[in-house]
Each structure stands twice: as C-alpha cells, then as structure tokens.
Amino acid sequence: MYRKNIQKNLILVLFSIALFVIISSYTHYRSNKVTHSSSNQVEYYLENISEEPILLSRFLNFEWDEVYIIGPYTPNKKKHEIVGTTWYTNGTYIGYILDTYLFYDGEILADSFQELVFTRNNKVISTALLERRNGDFLNLEQHVYNSSNAKFIIEKDEYFFKRVIHSQ
C-alpha cells in the first residue's frame, strides 16, 4: 500500500512538472512569435528602386525602428544575439518544438537567401525572407539601419544581379 502511494505521488509530480514545462514553453513561444511577414512589401520596394534613392519605410505598412540584415547559414541563436532579442516565425507550437529542439536551428539553408528583421521598441515585429538575386543586402558596410536612414539604391551587374547600396 505504501509503495503504491509513492508511485502515485511520483507520477503526479512528474506529470505536474511536464505540464509546467509545456505551459511555460508555450507561453514563451506565444510571447515571442512573429506573425507578420513583410517579404512581399520589401520585394515590391526592391522592384521600384533604381538610381534614385528611396526610403524603405515608405513601402512598409507598419512602424519600425530598425532593420537587421541577416545572411545565409546564420543559426537562430546567432540571429538572436545580433538583434538582441528572441523571436520565432513558426506558424504552430508543434513546428516551434520540432525546429527548436529536434531538427535544425532555423538557419537560412541556402546561399541565395537573406533575412531582414524589423524591430520596434527592441521587439521583433516582422521578418522578410528574400532572394539575394532580387536585391543583395549582404555587401553593405553595416547590417543594421534605422527607419530614417534605410535609404537604398539598386545597382545591376552584367548578369542582372541586383546589389543594394546604402544611400545617405
């Protein structure tokens, strides 16, 4: 009888701990989840700039303070260090668990992609995953710009590759 009570209590304690871990993990995921993708807006911006510098914020329908440019093969941990905060773009909690703990660390797995991360009040509010051939931000001298100085022009090379250049 005494042994059965210990087993019941142990199962109850383990279940309570597991439930606490799941609830706190889910709360962390929900509080850092980014649901807004600005990829289409940034692609439209890249299509409409040329030799005339245009401010990026004119093409985005949300307020932001800074944009961070993240290159290929950057793991989530490094992205979070660069931006200074944590965020997740998984559509579901199960996807978040699988990507974070089981499969890969959310890195961009191709040379041809880059990510723009938009923040407001030090919180990520939107991300844009972009093909570099449509506008390569990676050769810029700095990789963070505020909304008032994120003004760029496009320079095309002989292969029609578009390189983004910062304009003062």
For residue 26, is it within any domain? no
Q: How far is CA 23 from the centre of its chain?
A: 23
pLDDT-derived band at 64 (thresholds 50, 70, 90) equals very high
For residue 147, is it within any domain? yes
Q: What's the CA gap between 25 and 101, in Å, rounded?
A: 12
For residue 126, is it within any domain? yes
For residue 72, is it within any domain? yes
Tell me the HSE value of 77 on the side-chain side, using a 13 A CA sphere. Answer: 4
Q: Which of 33, 45, 35 is nearest to 130 (CA)?
A: 45
For the chain, the residue count is 168
Domain boundaries, position 66: 32-166
pLDDT-derived band at 106 (thresholds 50, 70, 90) equals low
Residue 115's DSSP bridge partners are: 70, 129
* φ, ψ dihedrals at 103, nearest 5°: -100, -75
For residue 8, is it within any domain? no
Task: Name the residue with higher pLDDT: 103 or 5.
Answer: 5
Query: Average per-residue pLDDT in the chain?
Result: 84
pLDDT-derived band at 122 (thresholds 50, 70, 90) equals very high
H or E, element range at 131: strand 123-131
The whole-number average pLDDT for the span 133-160 is: 84
For residue 17, is it within any domain? no
Number of domains in the chain: 1
What pTM did the predictor assign?
0.80
For residue 22, is it within any domain? no
For residue 1, is it within any domain? no
**Is the confidence at residue 130, as pLDDT, over 70?**
yes
Q: Kindly list the strands in the beta sheet with 151-156, ordered across the sheet, starting from the edge strand earlier in the chain.
A: 54-55, 151-156, 162-166
